Each structure stands twice: as structure tokens, then as C-alpha cells.
A = this chain, B = another copy of it.
């Protein structure tokens, strides 16, 4: 027989710890805290099996569950000495969701369950106090009405009344608006709440969240039923949210907020602005020093047990601390790095454990730009700095507006009075977020941190007028579409688009990446498209320039004019003159490259543009190019038209151009080799779009001929190697033959994905999102390598290439080289290195180390 539930109680002996997949992350935290001897109110957990059965059986609860819940409630009565729905001291419970994966705020919770008028009166009579009893009852009616009965908002006609009148008025509102009347029977309340929590698993916002975070629908949520404790039991009571360290900076002291005489939801929802745990006369440290000390001790125990920064919910009921939840806290990337380094130093984690804790994809966030401190600015307001980084954008006053702007490719700053869980998509779509209310642990802050968006919360002096299309700060009016800048590190909100600057990288950042470099097997290089990128690549720890794209060096106005003249000219003299004019421009580009590379190895890809991309487009451009080429505009237009391509991605480009325009490539190769010789560098020359061994050999021979003539003419004997870009499926199949003469392979996974799927990167948007939603494709194959298809081809290329040359150097130069999941695959198939854009180099270094550790 299936056991549908698991118990936890400080009175009971600790049993086997069940897996999170069964009791949810929150449930597991409660069971673990109980086992560690921490103060947790007793309760029991309906496992995720219940949720799966429920949805698998057309939303019917499994048979046997009812009897089991009755037994568990009887047990809870005996644990607490209270009575559920009978006479005696009333047992009130919370009913909370809790999935195996963290889904903050996405699922439903009901507090104070078990209350009705009789209960309230008994509670008041039991010496708990009138105020607590009726406040709790009112809270319960509202929450039940909203969460279980699905009403928009349950508000009494007037706030003036209190006590029994207020409760009666609220029940009247509920019964007026709801099809189902408010259940006064606690058992009816309990089953209603359980079903509501289960149903919340399939709500739109929860489903969206799971899709964004790749959480399987089949996981399901557990349901925790736990004895209530009361933070709203007067001045000696409080409720709060606390982190064992500062989630924004990583500072190793408890950080958080609390509200006196309140219940948990008041903090999380951001409706009341809370007081801090530490610092100032209102802080918990000052007001309730014993509870604060107990909380600190609990954190030390929890961190030693979990090796991670903890995020807890606590309640103080008349001076007694209770922990209601613990989980590994979400931190800013910078804080995560600092905590990892600190915890390693404190002996809580090994280096390897610390590395595995970090999320490589988030590393790019500390590279986000910040506002330049030395420049004047118009500060509109200040709020709480809730997610670091800075961004400018157009003011959007709803999540939908932010999404619409993002869809148009425009940066949006989402400005809201307060955020609701339904705003998740808006926060993701926005470049930055600003809210008038809420604290650093509000939904907005949490989601923004998770998404790496700069965020300022609790900017209390702004007034948002959605209908009016603006927000006001004092007497300044900021309209929808105006540009503002959000600094999520300082909390400043400024008018206009401020100049941003690159961040200083922290010591923790450097330390973590040094650890990663010690461990990883896979090399990490950088893809660069201009000499400026080379500086960034060096700064961020690339060990080589894995791909230097040379197209930019041909597309400057001077070079472009010469190339157009060369392509359009009909007499050989003019063509030759254009080539002569190109040479110094080319040499300057590579001189700059080698100077900036400062000895880093460099892979230079030969020109890889479609011929059609060089040609003039407008009538004016054509006329100018025609004059330079010494032909009529009409003739030039005809030649341009003749060279237009139906599918430039599959056109006259890459090494096809090297074969049809050998003199142009000779100029490039000569410039590369001459500057390489001068810089004493031995570049790896990469031949793009290779489809056959013969064409690669032809280009290779042409490179050698150019090198020879350079040596004969100038004595400059540059060292170099020549490799093939493997980016076409045919090259994969022919890898053994290509490896005969290739010194190295560089696998161009962007193009290999394009050709394998037959999907153009430029055109995929029209259907790709639909495909991802329907899971026709596992994800966006241009972001994370499609291991089943493109990965299978890549493995063939590696195997065949190394069947010819066992030590053949093989790297990846597509943007997949910066994607952690893809890196794990690249590591597993024995590639030598990945090369990605400079800003993704740190993530790649960490991901490569994790791949090594996971592979052990």
C-alpha cells in the first residue's frame, strides 16, 4: 500500500530522510531542520505521488488518501495537544505547496486554516487574545477566498470595523462573490485548501515558470500541513525572512527583514515595508536579541549541514523562535562567488564542491555594465538595490508592455507599484525593473536576480498611474516610453540613458576562475570580430584567440570601396590596383591584432562572407562603385544583379570565394603572414566552409605559395598552420580525408546546426518559439547544442578526423562554446578547446571545470 504522507515533529525520533522528489524541497527542509533539532512546528507532508495521481486520474484524489489524512490530523492533534474542528484549544494549520524544484511564489499557500467563528471565539478565550484571534480569522477568510475560491480580492466594505464584525463582513463578501460558500467546517476547509494547492501546479503562471526554468511537469508538488504558530500575537511576536549571508554582496552575516506582529505573507508580498535584521534601533538584533542569536546559531548549523547559504522563513510567537522553511538561497552572482570562496576558506566546502555549486551561465552577469560614477546625472529617486548591474530603457508600465517592447527589440524598464507572481514574464522581458513597494526579498527582487536583470525595489516616493500612462516622482512626471536608467547596485533611478562602464572584477571572481583553470581539461579560447574584442578576451582569461573573424577588416569604408572596385572592374589593371590598395589596410588590421594579443596564440579565419555581401546595394552606392571600377552604372547594376543570391547562407562564400578570388585571399594571407612574422607569432589559419578535401588542399596550397613568395621577396619566413572549419555535414563525413592535410579542425557548430537542421538562423524566429513550446525541438538548437543530431555529427567528425591523426587538435568555435550544457558534451567527446565570445569566457572556464568534475 502506498504511503501518501510523511511526518515531522520535534518530539519524534528522526527517521529516514525522504528524497526531495517525494516531499518537495520545502518539505525536505522542514524534515531536515527537525532532524537537526531546530525549532519547527510539527506537521506532515502529502507527497508528490498524490499530485501525480491527482492529475493522472483526471483530478481525482487517490483512494486511501482521505483515511490517511484523518489519521495524520489525529496525530497532529496529539503532538500539539490541540483539537482540529472540535472543542478544546483549536488546532490551526497552514497548507503549503512545495515542489522538488524551487518555484518561489508560483504555488499556493493557505494560513490559519481551521478557523470559523467558534474557533475564533475559543482562540480568543484561550488567552491568545481577541486581536490575534480575529486578525487571524480575517486573514484566513481573505486568503481562503482568494486562493481556494478563486476570488480576485476579498476586501471588507470598510476597514473601520474589526473583530467579529469584520469577519462577518468578509464572509458576506465571499459568499456574495463566490459560487461556493465559505466553508465553516475545518475539514471542508482542509480538503478545499489541499485541492487548491494541487490545482495551482497547473496554473498558467506555474506552467510558464516551469517552461522558463526547464522543470518537468511530471515533478508535481508536495503539500505540507503544519501546525500554525503566530507572528501576529502581539509586540513580542514577529515574522520575517532571513538569509544566512547577504544575497546581494555575499557579506558573511545574516541578512533579512522582519515585521512585528505580522504573519509571513506580509513580508514576502511587499505590502508592509519591513525592518532589517541587523543595524539600527528597529533591527531584530536590537529589538529581540535572544531570538536573533538563536537565528544566527540556526544558520551556522544549517550552513554546516548544507554547505550553502540558507534562506529561511521564521516566526517569533511571543518570544519563541520557530523556523517555517529553509532552502538554499538565490544570490546575486557576485555574492555567490564570494560565498563560495568564503565557505571554502571556512572549511564548509572543498574547492570542487564550491565550483559545482556555482551556475556558469550567471557568471556573465558580473560583467554587466554599471553607471559611471564620475558623470553628472539627474537622479529621479532611490530605492533598495535588489539585483546588481545597470541598464537603460524605455518605461513600460505593465509586463505586457515590457514584452511588446522586447519583441520589437527595444530595451524596456518595467515600472510597477508592486510585483505579483504573474509578472515573471515581464521581468524576464525587461532590461531592468523598478517597483514602488516591497523589499529585497519581494518577488520582483527574487525573479530579477534570477534573471540577471538590474532591479530597484521599494522606491517609495514614486506613484504609478497606469491609466495615465506615467509615473510621478515628486513633481517630475515620467511618461510611458521615456528613457530612464536603473542602477541595481546603488538603487539609483536616473532620467535618460546614462553612460555605462565595464565592471571591476572581484577577487572572488578571480579566485573561483583560478580554481576552475586548475581543474579543467578543456581549453577556453575567445571568438573575436575586431581587435577591441581581443582586449576583452585577454581581460576575461581567454587562453587564446580561438577565432578571429576577419570580415570587419574588409568592410571598413576604404577596404569595401577597393573590394567593390575589384569585383566590378572589367580590366585587370584596375583589379590589380585595388588589390595593391588593400594590402596596407589588411596589414594594419593584423598588426593591431598581434599587438593586442600580446603573445596569445591566434586562430585567424580567412574571409568568410558571401560575395553578394560585398556588393553595393542602393543606386547611389552602385553609381559610386561603378565609377571607381571604371564601368557604367548600368553595367555595374547588371553585375550586382547577376551576383545576387537566393540563399546567401548556402552561396558563394567561405573557401569557395578563396577559390574563385584567389588574388584577394593571397593579399589577406600575405598580410597575416607578414605581420605574424614581425610579431613572432605562429597563427593558425582557418579555412571556412570546407566541403571537400580537395578544396581544402587547394586553399592550403595557395597559402603555402603565398608564404613562399613572401619569403622569397622579403625573407619573412612566418610559421603558421592551416586547419579546416568543419561546419558542413559533408565535411563531417569526409573528416578522415580532410585530416590528411589539415593541421587542426575547428568545428563551426553555428553553421553545422544551420545545415543539419536546414534552418536559417536569420529566419528561424518565425517558427522556432512554437517548436520549443511544443517540444518538437528539445530547445533552441542555436543556444544549446542539439546533442542527438548535431552532436552525433560532431562525434563522427572527431572520430574520423582522429582516425587519420590521433592527436589532431579539435576545438569548437560556435557560440555553443560558451554554453555550459554544450561544454559538458564537448568535454565528454574529447575536444581540445571551446572558443566563445569574450563575455562568455568566464562561464566557459567554470563550465569546463564542472564538466571535468562531473566526468570523474
Contact surface of A with B, Cβ cutoff 8 Å: 611, 643, 645-652, 654, 656, 659-660, 689, 691-692, 694-695, 698, 727-730, 733-734, 737, 751, 754-760, 762-763, 766-767, 770-771, 774-777, 786, 788-790, 792-793
CB distance from A292 to the nearest CB of B (A): 53
Query: In the complex, what residues of B have CB within 8 A of residue A648's CB?
Result: 646-647, 763
B652 touches A766 (CB 8 A): yes
CB distance from A656 to the nearest CB of B (A): 5
Number of identical protomers? 2
Given contacts A692-B777, A774-B659, A733 and B760 within 8 Å (CB-CB): no
A758 touches B689 (CB 8 A): yes
A-B contact pairs, 29 of them (CB 8 A): A646-B648, A647-B648, A647-B760, A647-B762, A649-B758, A650-B754, A650-B759, A650-B760, A651-B760, A651-B766, A652-B767, A659-B771, A660-B767, A660-B770, A691-B758, A691-B777, A691-B789, A692-B777, A695-B777, A727-B758, A728-B758, A729-B789, A729-B793, A730-B757, A730-B758, A733-B788, A733-B789, A733-B793, A755-B755
Query: Residue on B with the closest CB to A642?
Result: B766
Given contacts A729-B789, A730-B756, A788-B733, A771 and B650 within 8 Å (CB-CB): no
Query: In the complex, what residues of B have CB within 8 A of residue A611's CB?
Result: 766
Query: In the complex, what residues of B have CB within 8 A of residue A786's CB?
Result: 730
Q: Which of A650, A757, A771 lies at the interface centre, i.e. has the most chain B CB atoms within 10 A of its CB? A: A650
Give the contacting residue for A757; candidates B691, B767, B793; CB below 8 A.
B691
Query: In the complex, what residues of B have CB within 8 A of residue A767's CB?
Result: 652, 656, 659-660
A758 touches B650 (CB 8 A): yes
Give complex CA distance A788, B770 in Å: 36
Query: In the complex, what residues of B have CB within 8 A of residue A649's CB?
Result: 646-647, 650, 758, 760
Query: In the complex, what residues of B have CB within 8 A of residue A689's CB?
Result: 758
B776 touches A755 (CB 8 A): no
Query: Residue on B with the closest CB to A754?
Result: B650
B651 touches A789 (CB 8 A): no
B694 touches A777 (CB 8 A): yes
A660 touches B766 (CB 8 A): yes
B790 touches A730 (CB 8 A): yes
CB distance from A825 to the nearest CB of B (A): 14
CB distance from A417 to the nearest CB of B (A): 32
Query: Residue on B with the closest CB to A647?
Result: B760
CB distance from A463 to the nearest CB of B (A): 36
A758 touches B751 (CB 8 A): yes
Q: Which of A754, A763, A775 lies at the interface centre, i.e. has the most chain B CB atoms within 10 A of its CB? A: A763
* 5 additional A-B residue pairs with CB within 8 Å, beyond A659-B771, A692-B789, A730-B757: A647-B760, A728-B758, A729-B729, A729-B755, A733-B756
A788 touches B755 (CB 8 A): no
CB distance from A734 to the nearest CB of B (A): 6
Give complex CA distance A180, B123 in Å: 129
B730 touches A659 (CB 8 A): no
Give the contacting residue for A776; candidates B647, B659, B730, B757; CB below 8 A.
B659
Give complex CA distance A786, B733 in Å: 11
Query: Residue on B with the closest CB to A730?
Result: B789
Give complex CA distance A758, B730 in Å: 8
CB distance from A792 to the nearest CB of B (A): 4
Give complex CA distance A645, B646 in Å: 10
Given contacts A733-B793, A756-B755, A763 and B652 within 8 Å (CB-CB): yes
Query: In the complex, what residues of B have CB within 8 A of residue A763's CB?
Result: 645-648, 650-652
Q: Which 9 A-B pairs have the closest CB atoms?
A: A650-B760, A730-B789, A647-B760, A646-B762, A729-B729, A695-B776, A651-B763, A728-B758, A733-B792
CB distance from A731 to the nearest CB of B (A): 8
Query: In the complex, what residues of B have CB within 8 A of residue A691's CB?
Result: 757-759, 777, 789
Give complex CA distance A786, B754 in Å: 20
Q: Which of A647, A728, A771, A786 lies at the interface centre, i.e. has the most chain B CB atoms within 10 A of its CB? A: A647
Give complex CA distance A694, B689 in Å: 30
Query: In the complex, what residues of B have CB within 8 A of residue A793's CB?
Result: 729, 733
Query: In the complex, what residues of B have CB within 8 A of residue A730's CB?
Result: 756-758, 786, 789-790
CB distance from A440 to the nearest CB of B (A): 41
Give complex CA distance A695, B659 in Å: 39
